[in-house]
């Protein structure tokens, strides 16, 4: 019973990693790629690490894995948000330098 | 259970190589940084699965330190992109 649940969670995490990687390759823009990478960071990592916690049982090692899980869950969307904000600021300052008044065909 | 872990390691390695394509090709610096960030998360999961496969528990500490350093490097390079003043670095 435990093996079945661990297998389902681990394969679900690998599925989300695959989907996120596919989005990083196929999407046309920085911001859409950030959206796809955020899926890959949160859901894939959370499913894989919780399956490893279930495989280990409750001891000190699984507590360390839960610590990694909470840290990744907080830090990874923050990093993706900072990258998207940095790219937006860069594009805005680029438009300001070149004198762009209005955008066409976005 | 060991075969499942080996399959997971191989699958994660293949997806890391596909992400490496975007990290090399990406038109702007933010594309490369997003790909590197995803590669870091996949590497954390990879280290943990390897530690379960060979029954060595000290790899978990390596994964903790890797998560901390990966987050820090992402923040520093994002700040560098933000202050670059419109140049495509």
Q: Which of A45, A33, A101 is nearest to A74 (CA)?
A: A45
Domain ranges of chain B: 2-82
| Interatomic CA distance for residues B6 and A74, integer angstroms | 28
Nearest CB among B22, B33, B63 relative to A25 is that of: B22
ipTM, interface predicted TM-score of the complex: 0.87
pLDDT tens for chain A, 106 residues: list them: 888 999 999 999 999 999 999 999 998 888 999 999 888 888 989 999 999 999 888 889 899 999 999 999 999 989 999 999 988 888 888 888 888 777 666 5
pLDDT at B89: 65
Q: Does A32 touch chain B (CB under 8 A)?
A: no
Beta-carbon contacts of B2 under 8 Å, excluding residues fewer than 6 positions away, are B53
pLDDT at B72: 92
Q: Does B52 touch chain A (CB under 8 A)?
A: yes
Question: Per the CB < 8 Å rule, is B34 touching A61?
Answer: no
The model's pLDDT over B22-66, given as tens digits with 9 standing for 90+, comes to 889 878 888 999 999 999 999 999 999 999 999 888 889 999 999
């Amino acid at each position: 019973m435990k093996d079945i649940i661990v297998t389902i969670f681990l394969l679900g995490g690998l599925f989300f990693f695959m989907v996120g990687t596919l989005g990083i390759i196929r999407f046309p823009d920085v911001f859409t790629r950030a959206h796809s990478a955020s899926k890959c960071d949160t859901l894939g990592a959370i499913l894989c690490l919780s399956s490893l916690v279930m495989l280990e049982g409750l001891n000190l090692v699984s507590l360390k894995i839960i610590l990694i899980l909470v840290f990744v869950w907080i830090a990874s969307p923050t990093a993706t948000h900072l990258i998207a904000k940095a790219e937006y600021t860069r594009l805005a300052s680029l438009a300001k330098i070149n004198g762009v008044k209005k955008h066409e065909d976005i | 259970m060991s075969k499942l872990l080996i399959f997971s390691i191989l699958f994660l390695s293949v997806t890391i190589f596909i992400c490496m394509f975007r990290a090399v090709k990406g038109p702007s610096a933010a594309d490369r940084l997003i790909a590197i960030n995803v590669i870091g998360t996949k590497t954390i999961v990879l280290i943990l699965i390897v530690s379960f496969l060979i029954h060595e528990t000290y790899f978990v500490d390596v994964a903790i330190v890797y998560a901390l350093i990966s987050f820090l490097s992402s923040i520093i390079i994002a700040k560098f992109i933000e202050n670059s003043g419109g140049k495509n670095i």
